[in-house]
Amino acid sequence: MASNRQKTSQPDENSKIVSLIKGRRATSYDVARLAGVSQSAVSRCFKPGASVSQKMRDRVMKAAEQLEYRPNAIARGLITQRSNLVAILVSGRLNLYYPEVLFQLTEELSKVGLRALLFTVESEDDAGMAIEQAWQFQVDGIISASHMSWDQYQTLEKRKIPVVFFNRYFLDKPINVVHCYPASQVSEIISKLQDLGHRKFALIRGPESNMVSRQRCELVRERIRSVRKGNLIEVEGDFSYDSGASALQQILSEAAARPTAIICINDMMAMGCIDEARSIVGLEVPRELSIISFDGIGMSQFASYELTTIRQPIGRMCEAAVGLIVARVERPDQSNEKRVFEGALIEGSSIAAVS
């Protein structure tokens, strides 16, 4: 009792405490004992904005340093009901767009004191498992850049877990979403292709179930039709390099007359397409075949490709996604929000005039 009250423990007792801790992780109680204060005082010293005198803070901090004390985020999470964990669901060994998103999301989360709990999700089943796990770990929110069904989302909503979709959405459903709607860039680039003499186009889509792909396709179709009843052949891929390559073969075999320009719904397929054209089919890109695409991932600008592509402002989108998560965590009842970004046209060297 008395020893608890005294302002500083005796030197010999101090070393006793320090050595007692040895091998164990120091807790706030250990720090409190060493500093001769209460556990709550220690807790308050590590809570920004709490009411603590300078004297107390100094003493506690000194003791904390001696014991290498760090607040236990798990215990803190239990009592505060905030884990500071955010689940990130990404798919994707096949599309190198995702790693870029993942790394930037992680950094943005880190800036606001949140940690990324990573889940790789290649199917709806995976998403279901990820959701269960995320729920068990009491994540503060989920950022999904991957497969997730409406039912699964509903479950999360019922459980009051904030969800932000990253370049994924459901038609006309109210959700939090960050995505890129590059309407004017599509106009611009399609016009440009037409100015270059292109009249016959092909479109390599993503899966029909993917809304972002559908949206991009709509923009492309509208724009091509708006100028002239253009010739547009469409085939479907799965966003992967390989599927871009086989899509090209399909186009060439199906089209009555070979298209002079191909619009790929993402960079990976465009790269597959270019490589297939050059190495297998023997078409020169861009002289004989122009190719444009969407995303603007890093490697789309490698000299082998130098894609003309519509870049997503991934950095700002990640920032927005994290911003939405934070906002929903702080005010769970606020209504959903869509943050839509423009694209940016990167003029590479994958297009040319029709010869």
**Residues in contact with DNA, shown as a per-residue x/- string from 81 to 110 under the rule CB under 7 A:** x-----------------------------
Query: Which of positions 10-49 make contact with DNA (CB under 7 A)?
Result: 25, 27-29, 37-41, 43-44, 46-47
Q: Which is nearer to its own copies, 191 or 304 (CB)?
A: 304
Helix crossing, 11-21 with 28-35: angle to 10°?
A: 170
- Interatomic CA distance for residues 91 and 106, integer angstroms: 15
CB 172 → its own copies: shortest distance, Å? Answer: 27
Residue 25 found at the interface with its own copies (CB under 8 A): yes
Alpha carbons 210 and 229: distance in angstroms, whole number = 26
Q: Are 145 and 322 in contact (CB under 8 A)?
A: no
**From residue 227 to residue 246, what is the string marking binding to its own copies with x (rule CB under 8 A)?**
--------------x---x-
| Residue 71 CA from chain centroid, whole number | 29
Q: Which two tokens mark 195? A: 């100015």
Name the binder of 92 from DNA, its own copies, none, CB < 5-8 A by kind.
Answer: its own copies
Residue 227 lies near DNA (rule: CB under 7 A): no
Rounded to a whole number, what is the distance in angstroms from the first to the last CA of the chain?
Answer: 93
Q: Is 103 in the site for its own copies (CB under 8 A)?
A: yes
**Residue 114 contacts DNA per CB under 7 A:** no
Q: Kindly write down the DSSP assignment for every residue of 158-202, as one continuous string.
A: HTT--EEEES---TT---EEEEE--HHHHHHHHHHHHHTT--EEE
Site for its own copies (CB under 8 A): which residue of 287, 304, 331, 334? 304
Cα 29 to Cα 33, 37, 40, 112, distances in angstroms: 6, 9, 9, 28
Binding mask 295-334 for DNA (x = CB under 7 A): ----------------------------------------
C-alpha distances in angstroms, 323 versus 99, 220, 239, 330? 20, 31, 28, 11
Strand 176-180, strand 163-166: pairing: parallel
Pairing assessment for the beta strands 261-264 and 290-295 based on DSSP bridges: parallel
**How many Å apart are CA 295 and CA 314, to the nearest integer?**
9
Q: Min. distance of Cβ 179 from its own copies in angstroms?
A: 22
**CA contacts within 13 A on the Cβ side of 89:** 32
Is residue 137 near DNA by the rule CB under 7 A?
no
Nearer to DNA, 9 or 260 (CB): 9
Residue 83 binds: one of DNA, its own copies, none (C-beta under 5 to 8 A by kind): its own copies
Nearer to its own copies, 140 or 205 (CB): 140
- The residues in 42-71 that bind its own copies, with binding defined as CB under 8 A, are 68, 70-71
Among 17, 116, 163, 351, binds its own copies (CB under 8 A): 116
Q: Does 79 bind DNA (CB under 7 A)?
A: yes
Strand order in the sheet with 261-264: 231-236, 200-205, 261-264, 290-295, 308-311, 344-346
In 3D space, the residue among 233, 280, 236 whose CA is nearest the CA of residue 257 turns out to be 233
**Which of positions 266-285 make contact with its own copies (CB under 8 A)?**
271-272, 274-276, 278-280
Strands 344-346 and 308-311: antiparallel
> Which of DNA, its own copies, none is residue 160 near (CB under 5 to 8 Å by kind)?
its own copies
Binding site for its own copies (CB under 8 A): 23, 25, 68, 70-75, 77-78, 83, 85, 88, 92-93, 96, 98-100, 102-103, 106-107, 110, 115-120, 132-133, 135-138, 159-160, 241, 245, 271-272, 274-276, 278-280, 298-299, 302-305
Which residues of the chain form contacts with DNA (CB under 7 A)?
4, 25, 27-29, 37-41, 43-44, 46-47, 51-53, 55-56, 69-72, 75-76, 78-81
